[in-house]
Every structure is written in structure tokens, then in C-alpha cells.
Amino acid sequence: MASEEELFANIDALLEEEPQLPPPAERARLREAAGITQARLAQALKSTVQTVKNYENGRSEPKSPRLEAYQRLLKGWAEKYPAARPDGFPLGQWAADHKRAAQTEAGPQRLAPEHVAALNATEPPGSVADASEPPTETAAPVQAPAAPERPARPAARPATSSRRPAAKKAAAPAVDPRFPHGPLAVLDGDGSAYGVDGLVLDCPATTVVELVEWTLRESGLGAPKLHRHGKDGDPLIVLTQSAAAKLGLPERLEDRRGLRLPEDHPVVKQVLKAKWQLTQRGFGPWARIYRKAQGRDRQCVQLAILPWDALDSRSWPGVAEMEPADVARVLGVYAQRVITPRGGTAVNGLELMTALRPPTRPVRDEETGNWVSGLNPGSLGTEPMDPAPPEGQPEHPAIYHSGWKGGFLHEEAYQWVRSVDTLSYEECLLPFAVGLDLNAAFLAAAARLTVGLSEPVHFLNPVFNPKIPGSWLVDLSGIELDPRLPSPFTPDGTRPTGPAWYQTHTVAYAQELGHNVAPIEAYLRKETGAYLDPWHDRLKTAYVDTLADLGVTKDLTDTEFLAAMERHKDVDPAMAAVLAAVKGTVKGGIGKLFENPQGKNYKEGEPWPAMMRPTWRPDIRAAVISKARVNMHRKLLNMSRMTGLFPLAVLSDCVVYPSPGSSPLDFLPYAASGKPQPGGFRLGRTPGLAKLEGVQEMSWAVDLMEKGLNPARHIKGGDAVLDDGE
């Protein structure tokens, strides 16, 4: 049997051992249970966020004196938030076993008592101080919250955070531990960086270079990739006017055409001297500052400069004038539902396509066994593709130098006004003209849309196949249709006069109407896929979720829907701005697929930047617009058959009908059960369904028609111009 002296010697040896910490996963659990962010813990430990992350994933262990301080904190948390281990042993026992030692412990340079007390006295998860909770969105509309009070800052100015109370929220996806503070922040002139969900960080940067380095090292900002083969989203910092001035940026850009700072500007020179780089766009409203990636870690920060009109009023109505916290709220919701902004909404629309369909993926080299970059099936690849001759434009180098004279595809949205000669006496006596607008018509057309993924191949006298995307030369001039409806084959609604190039959907609709089609030639693509499907699905969800935030929910009757749409923009200006941005993303993203040369110095036959992108695909844009126009005509035709009503005018996704009353309910077709008749226009919030665009007197519409003007362009009042296809 061991003697008392031996037992005491053994105990003394144990007491002299290095203090023990719980497993890394338990450290993270205790911190999260206490409602403390990694950034706040890093501040208390006088460390960095990355160091705390390393403690919690087991990559490193703290050294004295930080070890003793960290141990003391974890003991306190373990007493408050015990949890059973897999073997049933209560982890709270770990703290109890060490409590007596902690009471007598006098380790050197421990965490200050007030810091431990502040952390141990923190609110539980979900409270004001809970900066680890993800940004969530309400299922019902809420008023935009006021800007949070700015927190007092410690002298060292580390990345601190605070959080204001949030409205009751629905469940949201878990926060990526690499980006605990969300995708972006709006920096004000006093160093307050407003993040998502009421978060406020303290940014000590006084130069652009310091801002970039703080963002990458300390801010905890960024976004996880949207596809497993994609890339993480770079953090976005939005600069208010005062923040831009503090960092040495001018109040406005003098180069209004190039929209960038001159290369000899001190800020540009400062950035380059620090070995950072700028993209070809230079230092403009949306400046990207980066270094070459180190392994898998990207080193890139996106800046958006508000005084330089980064958030233009067409895509982001009223946002540039909002308080920083509300700007962060708008952009944060957009980033969560769509993508972290890295330019205008058109740029975001295109970026979202490639984020959801990355061009490459890792594949194993059969000869070496190494992993290399390979084509991701269903994507557009990494190289630009020349269009088929009829799908491009005369100035495209491949077409210009070939001397092509065979005509071009002309698939555009409707701009049609019915001839007043076709109006009946009964129609003219109706008191109202009512405009219907299709929600996100281009987005609805993108659903389950098969497009070409490979090079176009030329065929002579092919048999038409509606399942093959491409361009067909065919004569549809012999098809006779009711003159009170626009032709489905031309944007202006006039009857074709001879052979012309059409996209597959247009020719398929002629066949659907019962006409034999005999193509003369075609350019077709053998490899096909629904490239836009994930893009459509994500934007559709963003659209309907944002409408729900504005009170337009799926359970409304048609009468309630019309009332909700009439007031939805006033419910919450911030969410109304998000909705406008989502619509701009749809329209702009489709438009970017066929971006034309820009600049007065451009010469035909020369390449231009847009055409060098793999996403420069005029054939895909033509497919979307062709399908949208066909969808519109199908509804117009069904309406005439069900109700005997014919439209007065169509402009893209807006149609104007003569009506006996001032509401769509006065002329839309309903079954005896009260349900809308399928095939015609139906009211509703999802893409492809209709909402009220505006109401005017019938005499007003006829007067415009007699002048050759389009009532659909002005039905909303105030000479409003519609966003084609939204």
C-alpha cells in the first residue's frame, strides 16, 4: 500500500501539470451557449479572431498567460451551461472539480476580473449581445428599425461588436464559422461598421490599405460559396460619404465617362505600393482590391462607394439616402437571398449565374492521378464562344470579317399598339382601360429553359425539332392570325413578310398553333441543358420571400392581393428596395448576356470586353425573350377565346385591356367556383402571374392610340417607363 508521502507527491505532480482545457468542440459550445462571438472573445483575450478559431478547431492551444485566463473563463461558462458528454459524464463536473483550484489560483497576468465578469454575465443566445446568431428574415412585414447607438470604443480599437434587438424572426441558415459577422458592412466616418442584423463593428482603419487588411484579418466578414465547386463570396465594405472622405477619397469622380480615379491619385498609388492590385475597372464606384490567392484562401475585398453612385436609384431606390444601419439591412438581405453585391444589379445577375454554375470542377487526371481543373457539366465553360452568324450583330469580329449577309435573329420583347380601326363600338363605350403587369416575366421564362451549351452547328433543310435550342430560318409570313392580336413572331406585332431567323420557341409556337413549319436552314447546338434553372430558383425564392416581408403572402384572396400590392412599397422602404433590386437583377442579368460595344471610339470588327466572357451568349438571351413573348401571346389568345376581350396594347410584360370596371376583377375569367380559369391572366405574386399596373379612362387610351403612342407605357401614370421583363 502506498504511503501518505507517495500519495502527496503524486498529487503535487498533478497540480504542477499544465492547466487542462476541455476539448476544442466543447470550447466552441460553451462560447456559443454564452452568446459570445469569436470577435468579442478575441478582444477579451487580447488576441485575434483567427486565433480563437484555431482554439476551437484544435489547430493550436493557448500559451501562458492567455492559457490561464482562457481556462478560468471556460470554467465559469461550464458551471452555467453544463452539457452531457456522449458517455453520460456531465461536463459541468469538469468545472466543479476545478472550482476550488480556481478560487485559490493566482496565475500571472490573468484576464482582468472585469473582463471575465462581463463575459460571464452576458445575455443568453438570442439576446441583444448575441452576435453569433445568423441574420434572419421575418415572415410578416416589419418597420425598418432605427439605427443602433454607436458603442463606446476601447483605446486599442479592436474589432468589437454590438447587436440591437431584432423583431421576432423565422428560422435561418446557420452562420458559417469562417464568416461570423456576415457578408458585408457599411462603414461610417467615425469608424462604425454596420453589419447585418444590427451588428456594429469598430473599424480602426484610416487608409484604404488599412481597411482592406482589417477586413480580411479582423472583420469576420465574407460569405460561403453558393455551389460546392464555386468560390466563397468576398467581403463587401460600403463607404458612406464621411468614410470615403476620411480615407482620402474625393467627394465625386471627375472622370464621369471612365468612372474611376486617375492612376496618379494618392489612394491608387498607396494601394499599389502596398502590393495590392486593382481590376481593369480601376478604382471606381465598385472597386475590387486583391492579391493573388494563397492556396484556397482568397485575398480580395469589394468596396462600394456611396457618394460615387454605387447604389443607383433605379436599381436601389432610396438606399443611398438611408442611414448606414439601414443600408446594411438592405444589402444584407439581398446578399442572403441573392448574392453579395459586387457591382450594379446587372453585374450581380451575371455573377449569380456563374456562382450557381461554376465553369470548372476538380477532376482526377487518369495518367498522373493528380487532381486538376476540368469542365463542370452544365456550365458555360471558361472560354468565350463565337455566336452563330444570325445570333450576333454586324460588328462582331467573326461576323464582320466573314461578310455575312444572311440576316439576324430579332427576338425582342413586345412593343405593340392595336390599330384603332379594329376597335368595336362596344369596346369604345367601355369606361376604363386597365393595365396588367406580369411579375418578373423574364424570370418566369427562364424556368426549365433548355439552352445550348456547345458550339453552333450549321444545317441545311433540317426537320424542325422543338426540343433542340438554336436559330431557324423559316417563312412564317403565310400564317393568318386575328388582327386584333399582335403577331407572336415579331416584336412590333406585325405580320412577317418573308423568311426570317427565329429562336426555337417562336417556331415551336407556330407549330403549336397548327401550322406546318419547314426550316430552310438552322444553327443548332447538340449539347444542351437547363443552365438557368438554379438562377431562376434562387431569384424566384428571393422575389416571393421579399414580397411576403411586404405583406404580400400566398394565402391572400385576389381582392386582398390587389389591396396588398397597392400599399406594399409603403410597408417597409428597406424591403421595397430589396424587391426592386431583385427585379433589376433579373432584367439586368438577362441583358448582360448580349452586351453591346460601348464607347465613341469603338470601330466595327474590333473585339470588345463583354464578348470575351463565356457568359456573352446572345442565343440564351434570345431564348428567354422568345419564350416570354410566346407566353404572353398564349395568354392573349386564351383570353380572347374565354372572354371575347382583345388587348389595346402590349409593352414587354404589360398589357392593357378595355374594361367595364376599374379593377382586373371586372374582366378576368373566373370559373363558377370562383377560381381563376387556367390559361388566361391570373392575379398572384409568383413570377408569370399578374398584378395591377394602372387604370385610366378608355378615352385616354384611345387618344394615345390615335397618336401612335403606347398606352401600356403610360398606364401607370406620371409617364412611367416599364422595366422590360423586370
| 52 and 178 share one domain | no
To the nearest 10 degrees (0 to 180), the angle between helices 324-337 and 533-549 is 140
Query: Tell me, what's the pLDDT at 287?
Result: 97
Phi (first) and psi of residue 451, to 5 degrees: -125, 165
Query: Is 522 inside any structural domain?
Result: yes
Judge if 204 and 310 occupy the same domain: yes
66: confidence class by pLDDT, cuts 50, 70, 90: confident
Cis peptide before 224 (omega within 30 of 0): no
Terminal Cα-to-Cα distance of the chain (whole angstroms): 87
Do 338 and 393 share a structural domain? Answer: no
Model confidence at 175, in pLDDT bands (50, 70, 90)?
A: confident
The more confidently predicted of residues 71 and 550 is 550
- Residue carrying the nine cell digits 392595336: 418
Residue 601 resides in a domain: no
What integer is the mean pLDDT of 414-426?
96
User: By residue range, what is the domain housing residue 409?
Assistant: 389-413+446-529
Position 89 scores a pLDDT of 42
Collapsing DSSP states into helix, strand and coil, what is residue 640?
helix
Residue 539 inside a domain? The answer is: no
Q: Average the pLDDT over each of 16-30, 139-153, 711-725 and give the range with the smallest value.
A: 139-153
Q: Do 222 and 297 share a domain, yes or no?
A: yes
In whole angstroms, what is the distance from residue 234 CA to residue 226 CA?
12
Distances (CA, A) of 407 to 228, 393, 471, 505, 644: 42, 9, 12, 19, 38
Q: What is the pTM for the complete model shown?
A: 0.77
More confident residue, 268 or 36: 268
Classify residue 685: in a domain, yes or no. no
**Do 393 and 335 have their domain in common?**
no
Choice between 207 and 143, residue whose per-residue pLDDT is larger = 207
What is the Cα–Cα distance from 618 to 593, expressed in whole angstroms?
6
Are 516 and 474 a contacting pair, CB within 8 Å? no
Burial 581-620 (b: 16+ CB within 10 A, else e): bbbbbbbbbbbbbbbebeeeeeeeeeebebbebebbbbbb
Residue entry with cell 391572366: 681
Q: Residue 566 pLDDT more than 80? A: yes
- What is the predicted pLDDT for the residue at 10? 64
In a domain, 625, yes or no: no
Query: Is residue 560 assigned to a domain?
Result: no
**Alpha-carbon gap, residue 622 to 348, rounded angstroms:** 20
CA dist 628 to 53, 97, 290, 509, Å?
A: 49, 70, 40, 12
pLDDT of res. 90:
47
Q: Which of 509, 529, 549 is a domain's end point?
A: 529
Distance CA 638, CA 267 (A): 61
| Window from 150-159, 218-227, 321-330 with minimum mean pLDDT | 150-159
pLDDT at residue 61, as a whole number:
81
- Report the pLDDT averaged over residues 718-725: 51
Nine-digit cell string for 713? 407605357
Read off the pLDDT of residues 357-375 as tens digits, 9 standing for 90 and up: 999 999 988 888 888 889 9
Number of domains present in the structure of the chain:
3
pLDDT at 92: 43
Question: What are the two backbone dihedrals, phi and then psi, of residue 345, each rounded to the nearest 5 degrees?
Answer: -65, -30
For 605-657, the pLDDT digits (tens) are 999 999 999 999 999 999 999 999 999 999 999 999 999 999 999 999 999 99
Same domain, 464 and 400: yes
Query: Per the domain annotation, does 472 fall within a domain?
Result: yes
Beta bridge partners of 304: 238, 286
C-alpha cell at 76: 465559469
pLDDT at 391 over 50: yes
3-state class of 294 per DSSP? strand
Q: Are 491 and 629 in contact (CB under 8 A)?
A: yes
pLDDT digits (tens, 9 = 90+) for 690-710: 999 999 999 999 999 999 999
Q: Enter the C-alpha cell of residue 547.
A: 414580397
Provide the grid cell at 709.
403612342
Question: So what's the pLDDT on residue 590?
Answer: 97
How many of the other CB atoms lie within 10 Å of CB of 260? 19
Answer yes or no: do 113 and 226 share one domain: no
Bridge partners (DSSP) listed for residue 683: 690
Q: Are residues 109 and 178 in the same domain?
A: no
Residue 276 grid cell: 495590392
Give 223's DSSP letter.
Answer: B
Say how far apart CA 627 and CA 504 lie, in whole Å: 9
pLDDT of residue 45: 86
Asked if residue 334 and residue 201 are part of one domain, the reply reads yes
93 and 206 fall within a common domain: no
Angle (nearest 5°) at CA 528 between 523 and 529 = 145
Please name the helix (run of DSSP H) or strand (run of DSSP E) that holds residue 700, with its range, or none: helix 698-706
Last residue of one domain, picked from the residues 504, 529, 554: 529
Secondary structure (DSSP) of 28-50: HHHHHHTT--HHHHHHHTTS-HH
Query: What is the grid cell recorded at 214?
Result: 482589417
Q: Rounded to whole angstroms, how far apart are CA atoms 42 and 37?
A: 9
Q: Would you state the pLDDT for residue 135?
A: 34
The verdict on residue 33 lying in a domain is: yes
Regarding whether 477 and 393 lie in a shared domain, the answer is: yes
C-alpha cell recorded at residue 668: 378576368
For position 41, which CATH number holds? 1.10.260
Quick one: 180 and 322 in the same domain?
yes
**Dihedral sign of CA atoms 396, 397, 402, 403 in order:** positive
- Classify residue 635 as exposed, middle or buried by CB count within 10 Å of its CB (0-12, 13-18, 19+): buried
Q: At what angle do helices 66-80 and 92-104 cross, to 10 degrees?
A: 130
Which of 343, 369, 397 marks a domain boundary? 343
Dihedral, 603, 607, 613, 616 alpha carbons, nearest 10: 60
Alpha helices by DSSP H, 516-656: 533-549, 558-571, 573-592, 618-643
The predicted pLDDT at position 4 comes to 65
